[in-house]
Every structure is written in structure tokens, then in C-alpha cells.
Homo-oligomer: A and B are copies of this chain.
Amino acid sequence: VPAGADQPETSEITIALDGRGVEQGSEVLNEGVRMALADGIRLRVFGDPDALAGVAEAGAEVIEAPGEISNTEDPVSAVRSRDDASIVMAAADVAGGRSHALVSAGPTGATMTAALFALRRLSGVRRPSLAVQLPSVGHDGPPTLLLDAGANTEARAQDLVQSAIMGAAFSRAVLGVEAPRVALLSVGEERKKGTPLVVEAHGELQGMAGIDFIGNVEGRDLLAGKADVIATDGFTGNVALKTLEGTAKAVGAAVGDAARSNPVAAVGGLLLRPALGGLRRKMDPDMTGGAILLGVRGVAVVGHGSSGPAGIANAVRLAARAVSERATERTGELLAEAGATRAALK
């Protein structure tokens, strides 16, 4: 992974962590915080000081944030009206320069909204985009980045192009892919396949500076390692991601059911189980740490609400790595190089 010139040491990186929204409760949060602190990452955790006593004891700084935003609220009005909510205070901490990056396992909509309002968009970016790392089930390479996974359901061609560029910058800076292969998600490989949106984005990406655009890929290619970055609109990306997760879960559960269906199968399942460890780890959402909101002036990681301790720690580590690798600055540079700033002004 190439490092930036003014790359800070991990021990100099401070993460603002939303101390609310971890579904599995404060013990899980505490354990995750301890793991991240052990890496030398500093943490400022926002929430209920009583619930966060263990976090403070472990060495994190705790800041009282009385308010909470639930996932049934409208994120925009909740974030606008609730200055004392933990996610809003944590985002303000990053905007104010006291922390370097934002991490939350709370509601995705509130996290994205708080990050966007506090950090603002990168110059020339029309809409931020949510990037997720897909499990490398069908290959042994680095994770494929799928974006937008749901930040913006009403996309223009320019949003797809910017997602592609921002994904490439992140893949290079943080996932260590030197020359990320960039693709558009469509219904066929030919350049004329897909919605007018996709066809237009395809035309703009062809020959773009700094981007290794390999054309369209299909839904069946998401896990195959054919591309390092796959760009789509937030509606399609969200449907594809949840379809992928739901299918993997259903197939996994069906294999488990089969292994419980009779005694011989049960023995088979026991003998096979250790060899499935690699697959299980690849499918474990805790391993990647969460999604990244790209296109804002700063680093914001959206952890899974269902995170275990490793999920919390890996979300914090992902944010710290993005800071130390200057992901935001390099995203801005690639956007400028690719001429996306100009495209944004069209």
C-alpha cells in the first residue's frame, strides 16, 4: 500500500465513535473498544456515560451525549433537530478537528446524514456514495468494493461515474489494490446494455484518466473477483447487496438443516465443519468492519448494527487506515485527475 507523505502514526489517530446503536449492547462495545485501543488507536466515544463506564475504564475518552436517533425516525429531520444525539455529536467532533474519523454502528441513514451535514461534500461531488466490501467467496483476491449500496436511490449518470472514481481511489488507498479494475453493474457486458443511466456512465468512463475501466459486469459476477470496484445506483446496489446476503444466509441455513436431518449427515457435518471455517470467516460481516461513506470531506465508517466486538474493532481500524492512508485527499485527487469535477458542473 503506498503511503501518503504526511501520513500520521496510528497512535496519533483519534476516532469519534458513536456509543449508541450497537444492538448487542455495551459489553460488545466495550470489548470492541478494548481491541481497537490495543492497536494504539485513540477513541472518543459519545453516549450514555453509565453505559460507557467500561469503555472509559479501558482507556477511551467518554463524552456524554444524551440523545439517540432510532432507525424508525426520518434521518434528516432527526439529525437536524437533535444536536445532543450521539451520532450528531460524534460527527461534529470530526468536523471540529478533535477526531480524525467517524465510526457508528447505529442506523445507517442517521450516520450518513450526520456525516454529510457535518463534513460536507468533497469539491465537485454531487452525492456521497456508500461503499461496501463484498466477501471474497469466489476468489482469493482483495474484497470487491460495491457502491452505491444505498446512499442515493435517485442517481444520475454522473453519480455512477463519481462512485466509480471514488471507489477506485479507496480501493487503491485502503484496500491496497494498485490498479483497481473498475466496472459498472448492468444486465449484460455489451456497452449498450442496461438503463440509459448505465449506458451514459459507460461512455463517460471509457478512456477516463486514472481509471482502469473494464466495462459492465452482471449480478453473477459480484463474488467472482472480476472487478475490484463495481459501481451502480443506490437502489440497485442495495437490492443486490441484500440479495447476496440473503442468498448466502439461506443457502448456509439449508446446508445446516441438511446436516441436522439425520445422524449420518450430522457426522458428515461435524467432519466438514472445520474446513468450512475459511468460508465462514469470509462471509462474516464483522471481518470487513462496515461500509464507508465516500464523497464527504472526511472518513465515515458505517458499522453493522449487529456487530460483535471484532466488528466494532474492525470498523475503527478501517477508519484509522483510511485516515493514515489519506483516503479522502487521494479521492479528491483522483476526482480531479479524472475530470469528474468538470463533469459535476455540466
Residues of chain A touching chain B, judged by Cβ–Cβ distance below 8 Å, are 137-138, 150, 153-154, 185-187, 194-196, 198, 218-224, 232, 234-236, 238-255, 258-259, 261-262, 264-265, 267-276, 278-279, 282-283
Contact = CB atoms under 8 A, between A and B. Distances in A.
B243 A150 contact: no
Given A222-B247, A258-B272, A268-B271, 9 more contacts: A219-B241, A224-B246, A240-B240, A243-B243, A247-B247, A251-B252, A255-B272, A255-B276, A255-B279
A218 B244 contact: no
Contacts of A242: 187, 218-220
B239 A218 contact: yes
Given A187-B153, A271-B264, A219 B235 contact: no
Judged by DSSP, the binding face of A is helix
Contact of A267 (B196, B238, B254, B271): B271
Contact of A265 (B224, B235, B274): B274
Contacts of A269: 268, 272
A246 B265 contact: no
Given A243-B244, A270-B268, A187 B219 contact: no
B219 A243 contact: yes
